[in-house]
Chain A
Amino acid sequence: MTRLFASAVTAGYGARDVLHDVGLSVAGGERVALVGPNGSGKTTLLRVLAGILRPSSGRVALDDVSIGDLPSRARARRIALVPQTFTTPFAFTVREVVTLGRTPYVGTFGRPAPADRDTVERAMDLVGCRALAERPISRLSGGERQRALIGMALAQEADVLLLDEPTVHLDPHQQREALEVLARPVRDRGACVVAVLHDLNLAAATADRIVVLAAGRIVADGPPAAVITPERMSSVFGAGLFVGMRAGVPFVLPEPLGSPPGATRSGWSTPSG
């Protein structure tokens, strides 16, 4: 069983630490949402977990092997990261981009084998971008491009899928679809997903676990109903949020402008199961 484990991680850029003493453990089959205010260190944590930012102290291990000790190709076969922003000055097609997901499998001077091509076609089917295969990725809508990038990560066949705001350009129904696509590798291969999500409701509706970062520290880690509480939301995100519960899944709404402070508590009921 895949297990990604970070302990006492402090990391940042230059002399500035963004993450302080972060500990996190994610097991295969889990879907974890990473939430928190802007600047709380979500993307930095994702980069540390992906092994592309070396922590200044602490350790990140995959199945008890420090990811800093893994050769980069071996690491890339286990961990994929879907970036938040993506631009390319060249007209690469969707198929060419998804094929780049096979990078850790082709030899240094090699070419993708027929089996790699099959994996690429399957990945494009999974994210529903087969029809876009010959289109230049730079000409796609934000949502289509995001699907193609998720397709690239799926073609990478990693056990750990890290996503940075994968739904930011998507319509509401597409947001759920994009996260649904990821359910399959989780179910079939025991992969785990860690996604930075801006939308607390989407996090609550799609993740098994929510990890809340504030000012570079993890302040909560648990099932959505245990994490998304009125007290925690007001302490992390400030006043003005209404936290409710529907069918055992918490939700968060902005309070109407001008409503009195403390109204945040009014919709809360204990989880029914």
Chain B
Amino acid sequence: MEKRTILVIDDAADVRRLLAFHLKQKYNVLEAGNGEEGLRIIDQTPPDLVILDINMPKMGGLELYRRVSSETGKPPFPIIVLTVREELGIIFRDLDVDGFITKPFNVSAVIEEVNGVIARRYDKKEEKESELSKRPAKILLVENDRNAFNNIVIAFLNAGYIVNSAKNGMEAIEKILIDLPDLILIKLGLDDIPGDIVCAKLKQMPRTMNVPVILYMPYSASLDSVVEKKICERAGTELIESNSPDILLKEVERQIKKSK
């Protein structure tokens, strides 16, 4: 099978050299030191994936993204953004990309991310499915109440799940983009971004749109049915009106079974 082509666009020569050293074992690697050079290479040799830095002289990553997306609104190839942690929020708001790596990066995390994105975009679906059936499912729990959090985590760990956690919407988004979970369990009432808004954004992004999301809230007798309907429409998912670990566990099991 012909090797796929990865284009690394970063103004730091050491980053390009480090990534090229590792990626060349499996891929053809092209390099550009800024967005302008990157566009020229893309015109001559369309890549299968682009690793893109954001802060670069001449033309930065956001401008390159805009240029390559001008025809259809989306880039014609998957993009993994290399960025500092502080910029994740801006990038999440403005771009639909396939992956994020925060700097200073861990080389093995980059290689894993590249392999994962290539497999998701180009390889057979069955490979992904068989990988999930071999290991315990990884859940991201987004809950801001300590007691509820403890109860839910204990139930899920006892049931054999791997549980990662976040206490608010922004932390959840960062964690989801860095380490994609198999399922997201998110509370509606968070302190920063409401859970339904986080769900809506995740449904729009290619990288996260197929990850099952369960939105829940503690039972409230006063929840208006019209309000509930609006929340569900916005979130693109049902709202579970309970934070009981047993009920959430059953719902998660149902969703995981469905996604396999």
Bind each other:
no
Chain A residues in the interface with B (C-beta under 8 A):
none
